Structure formats: C-alpha cells, structure tokens
Amino acid sequence: MEGFHTSFGWVAIWASGLAAVLALALAARGRDLPRWYWWVGGSAISAMVVQILAGVYLYQQDRRPGSQHMFYGFVILFTLTFGYVYRWQLQKRPALRWGLFLLFVMGLGIRGVMTFGESF
C-alpha cells in the first residue's frame, strides 16, 4: 500500500496539473468549460481523494509519515471540501476558477510529497 500511495501520488499531482492547465487555457481563450472537461477535472479530484484515503489507511496501520506530510494531506482534504461547498460560486467564470483551484491542489500535492518524513 505504501508503494501505491507513493506512485499514485504523482499520478494525482499530474492529473490535477493537467486539468488546471486545460481549464486555464480555456479561460485565456474566453471559453466555457466543455462537457468532457468535467471528466478530466473529476478524475483529478477523485485521484486526490483516493490519495487521502490511502494516507488515512496507512496511518491506521501505524505508518507515520511525519507531521508536515500529514498537514498537507489535511489541507488538501480541506481545500477539496471547500471547493465542494462553494462549487456554485466556482461556476462564475468556471474555467478560470476551476483552473486556479486545481493548480492550488496540485501545489499542495507537490508540497506534501516534498515534506514526507519531516516534522514541525
């Protein structure tokens, strides 16, 4: 499970980055998000949720990754929850807002990987 959490973490980060770049490119052209984009964005968010669940499972198995790594996992969870609660507000200029949202989530994922094993 640790190998899955490590390798699939990069998949989740890249998926979030790809979805963010696609949305920001559409925003730069002044276009709305097409229907197929929701599959891309939803897959990126789902990958991050799977990562959070894998991290919780590993923590339950007495694997301690360091407090900073866990902190960024909680911040990602909070950010995704925030995005869900305010999803209707994100629909105003959706390409720009969802692009920035997923870019932020990608940055948190990268920071989470970089702080593995470190404590405050």
- Mean pLDDT calculated for residue range 63-74: 89
* Non-local CB neighbours of 60 within 8 Å, separated by 6+ positions: none
Question: Residue 100 corresponds to which tokens in the numbers above?
Answer: 């920035």
pLDDT digits (tens, 9 = 90+) for 12-56: 999 999 999 999 999 999 998 999 999 999 999 999 999 999 999
- The terminus-to-terminus CA distance of the chain in angstroms comes to 25
Q: Nearest 5°: phi and psi at 27?
A: -65, -40
Are residues 10 and 113 in contact, defined by beta-carbon separation less than 8 angstroms? yes
d(CA 56, CA 14): 21
